[in-house]
Amino acid sequence: MQKPVKRGSGMGISWYNPRVRSIVYQAGVLAAVIAVVWFFTATAQENLERLNISTGFGFLDTTAGFGIIQTLIPYTEQSSYGRAFLVGLLNTLSVAVIGIVLSTMLGFVVGVARLSPNWLLSKIAAAYVEVMRNIPLLLQLFFWYFAVLRPLPGPAESIEALPGVFLSNRGLILPDPVLDAGAGLFFGALAAAVVAGFVLVRWARARQRATGQLFPALRVAATLIVVLPLLAWAIGGTPFHLEYATRGDFDFSGGVRLLPEFVALVLGLTLYTAAFIGEIVRAGIQSVDRGQGEAAAALGLKDSTTLRLVVVPQALRLIVPPLTSQILNLTKNSSLAVAIAYPDLVAVFAGTVLNQTGQAIEVIAITMAVYLTLSLATSLAMNWYNARIALRER
């Protein structure tokens, strides 16, 4: 601990007052930053004027005129560049969210497996980690894209895995679920079951704390979530029917389509990031004192319960901060999509739109702002979670 310094009292405005010094230094740095930013802005402005390049964000309302292969919101060639931006953003977000969920789950499995007393399991996990994190992601993406793409047959000879499920080099085509009359009741029941299960688990936990009595809350909640919607299905009729894709001249039309580009990107990002997350999880678990596990064993807890209730909660404190940066990395790495023709934000907006409009500064500024916002929002959420799980002394 530092010796407490009496701040601002008795020394007045003097260079020897550390507070005054720090304010002067910080003001100096701030002024320098502003000067640099101002210099670059002014230079850019001057260059743009000299080169007769039009500036401003008006181009966002102009008709885009190009097609995009995957759009989660309605988009046609008549849509604006602004709409194309949204399409790219949603494509990036969908890859990032799916990748984050999958890689976190896989990472935990790999991290735990690497510490497993089972020799084979731990060696497989170790080999996985070493291979995945030592090969550049871009190469892995090319590998998955061409490994997923190449061996698959063309649409004419597509593999029909299940009725209405087709696999070809045009992607995985699934039947499209179309909602029927009973949908409201079905989804209402599902939501009610989820809420009820959540409440039940909380109640059981509170009761256990108060009385020490155990209640199989998780099992009951799971049963609820299965049974209630099934009941609704039986009463309200089928909630949806499947609309099968039909074979067109070239490949299938209708149905839900998972593009090979999308699959390759999710696969590459997930497997790559999971290796890093696995190492973080391993480090976190190893940081928990051995005595904690031994104490839990002495209490007669099962291995799985020890892991869930004793080791992981303590490990999480170490896992979450570096996990945050892996999640950020995954989101940012998704911009490599451009290499395998997946229409993400960078490919659509910082690629095609930038090239068609020539508004380099505006487009790049918007793209950077988007990634900055995504990263800051992720950090904020993870920091909040980190604060919540932090060790509290009672």
Partner 1 sequence: MRRGFLQCGVSQGLAGFSSPDERGRWSGIDVDYCRAIAAAIFGDGEKVRFRPLSAKDRFTALQSGEVDILSRNTTWTMSRDTQLGFDFAGVIYYDGQAFMVRKSSGITKAEQLAGATICTQTGTTTELNLADYFRGRGLDYRVLSFEKNDEAISAYDQGRCDGYTTDASGLYAERLKMQRPEDNIVLPEIISKEPLGPVIRQGDPQWADIARWTLSALLNAEELGITSENIEEMRESENPLVRRLLGAEGSYGASVGLGPDWVIDIVRAVGNYGEIFERNVGVDTPLGIERGLNALWTDGGVMYAPPIR
Can you give the binding site for partner 1, defined by CB under 8 A?
A: 48, 50-54, 65-69, 77-78, 146, 149-150, 154, 169-170, 248-251, 253, 260-261, 338-341, 343, 347, 351-352, 354-358, 360
Q: How far is the CB of 107 from partner 1 (least distance, A)?
A: 30
> How far are the Cα atoms of 53, 54, 383 from residue 47, in angstroms, in the given order?
9, 11, 41
Rounded to 5°, the CA angle 347-350-356 comes to 95
Return phi, psi of residue 17, to 5°. Answer: -80, 115
**Partner residues linked to 179 by β-bridges:** 240
Nearer to partner 1, 11 or 48 (CB): 48
Nearer to partner 1, 231 or 259 (CB): 259
Nearer to partner 1, 223 or 355 (CB): 355
Distance CA 138, CA 379 (A): 25
Q: How far is the CB of 360 from partner 1 (least distance, A)?
A: 6
Nearer to partner 1, 187 or 244 (CB): 244
Q: How far is the CB of 364 from partner 1 (least distance, A)?
A: 9
**In this structure, how many other beta carbons lie within 10 angstroms of the beta carbon of residue 375?**
17
Nearer to partner 1, 63 or 208 (CB): 63
Nearer to partner 1, 48 or 93 (CB): 48
Nearer to partner 1, 50 or 388 (CB): 50
Give yes or no for a contact between 85 and 371, defined as CB atoms under 8 angstroms apart.
Answer: no
Q: What is the residue whose two structure tokens read 């909602």?
A: 179
**Tokens standing for 70?**
């995957």
Q: How far is the CB of 261 from partner 1 (least distance, A)?
A: 8
Q: How far is the CB of 124 from partner 1 (least distance, A)?
A: 32
Q: How far is the CB of 5 from partner 1 (least distance, A)?
A: 51
Distance CA 342, CA 51 (A): 33
**Tokens standing for 225?**
């979530």
Q: How far is the CB of 48 from partner 1 (least distance, A)?
A: 8
Q: How far is the CB of 247 from partner 1 (least distance, A)?
A: 11
**Tokens standing for 57?**
């964000």
Region of 3 (left: φ > 0; alpha: ψ -120 to 50; beta: rest) is: beta
Residue whose C-alpha is closest to residue 92's, from 104, 82, 100: 100
Return phi, psi of residue 205, to 5°. Answer: -65, -45
Q: How far is the CB of 272 from partner 1 (least distance, A)?
A: 20
The type of residue at 310 is V
Nearer to partner 1, 76 or 287 (CB): 76
Element (H, E) at 370: helix 360-389
Nearer to partner 1, 46 or 289 (CB): 46
Residue whose C-alpha is closest to residue 104's, from 274, 286, 264, 313: 274
**In this structure, how many other beta carbons lie within 10 angstroms of the beta carbon of residue 113?**
21
Contact partners, residue 89, CB within 8 Å, separation at least 6: 345, 349, 370
